[in-house]
């Protein structure tokens, strides 16, 4: 046992591997590499990585097939790292179960930050706390109250459910479909305008400047991300 966090990097570009290897190792990651869909699935099962960084353009298929297959049996965090920047690609990867999406070309600092967030989310899922704290925002999932700066926030039951769901995934981009399915049910996954109205109501109640939101941030065309420090 090395005690290091094991990352599986799935990319067929040797230059990416050469570029990331020293940086990841310098940040206490143990690197395992794969260059195809088939190898990525096999190594995820055999090497039990703590996190997967996945390119979508692979020589034997689409990286989204890796997400689809791995999610059948594993909740390992998956951060997509790809040159495909179309919103539809991001949404499909996230809906399949990816935790985040970083576009190529990318900054190493951003990638490392997204990886840390994805790993933190996995730990939180394994030990769900009834009280969530995000900076000055507190959400009690047992007693169903929310406060900011020690002041109670008056929320409707559905507003609380929406805020709680976003907060449990703080720092992670959530698609419209994921949010709607979790809060309103699978029959409402296309009701994006309905979601926008509720997000607008929440922003009026929790943001200092609702027209310039710093807590519930819009990911254009994709969904929303709640800030980790507010």
Domains of the chain: 5-126 (3.40.50.2300), 131-226 (1.10.10.10)
Give the residue from 104, 75, 73 showing the smallest Cα distance to 89: 104
**pLDDT digit string, tens, across residues 151-209:** 999 998 889 989 988 988 888 889 999 999 888 887 888 889 989 999 999 999 999 89
Q: Residue 130: pLDDT above 80?
A: no
Distance CA 64, CA 89 (A): 9
Average pLDDT, the chain: 88
**pLDDT digit string, tens, across residues 15-45:** 989 989 999 999 989 999 999 999 999 999 8
Sort 86 into a burial class: Cβ within 10 Å, 0-12 / 13-18 / 19+. Answer: exposed
**Residue 86 token pair:** 């179309």
The CB density around residue 213, as the number of other CB atoms within 10 Å, is 19
Distance CA 26, CA 21 (A): 9
- Please compute the mean of the pLDDT values over residues 83-105 and round it to a whole number: 86
Side-chain half-sphere exposure of 152, counting CA atoms within 13 A: 6
Q: Residue 74: pLDDT above 90?
A: no
pLDDT at 196: 93
Radius of gyration of the chain (CA): 18
**Residue 95 token pair:** 């809906």
Side-chain half-sphere exposure of 188, counting CA atoms within 13 A: 12
Residue 202 near residue 216, CB atoms below 8 Å: yes
Give the residue from 10, 30, 11 showing the smallest Cα distance to 21: 30
E-strand stretches of the chain = 5-10, 29-34, 51-54, 57-58, 61-62, 78-82, 100-103, 131-134, 137-140, 145-148, 151-153, 174-175, 216-219, 223-226
Q: Residue 78: pLDDT above 90?
A: yes
């Amino acid at each position: 046992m090395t005690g290091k966090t094991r990352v599986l990097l799935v990319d067929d570009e040797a230059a990416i591997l050469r570029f990331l290897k020293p940086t990841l190792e310098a940040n206490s990651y143990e690197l395992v590499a794969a260059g195809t869909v088939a190898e990525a699935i096999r190594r995820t099962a055999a090497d039990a990585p703590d996190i997967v960084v996945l390119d979508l353009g692979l020589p034997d298929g689409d990286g989204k097939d890796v997400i689809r297959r791995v999610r059948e049996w594993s909740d390992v965090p998956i951060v997509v790292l790809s040159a495909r920047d179309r919103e539809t690609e991001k949404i499909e990867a996230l809906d399949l179960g990816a935790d985040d999406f970083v576009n190529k070309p990318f900054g190493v600092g951003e990638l490392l930050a997204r990886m840390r967030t994805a790993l933190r989310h996995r730990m939180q899922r394994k030990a769900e706390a009834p009280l969530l704290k995000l900076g000055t925002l507190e959400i009690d999932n047992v007693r169903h109250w929310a406060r900011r700066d020690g002041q109670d926030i008056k929320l409707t039951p559905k507003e609380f459910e929406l805020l709680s769901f976003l907060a449990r995934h703080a720092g992670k981009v959530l698609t419209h479909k994921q949010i709607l399915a979790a809060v309103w049910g699978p029959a409402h996954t296309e009701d994006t305008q309905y979601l926008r109205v509720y997000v607008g109501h929440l922003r009026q109640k929790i943001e200092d400047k609702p027209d310039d939101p710093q807590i519930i941030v819009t990911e254009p065309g994709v969904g929303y991300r709640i800030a980790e420090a507010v």
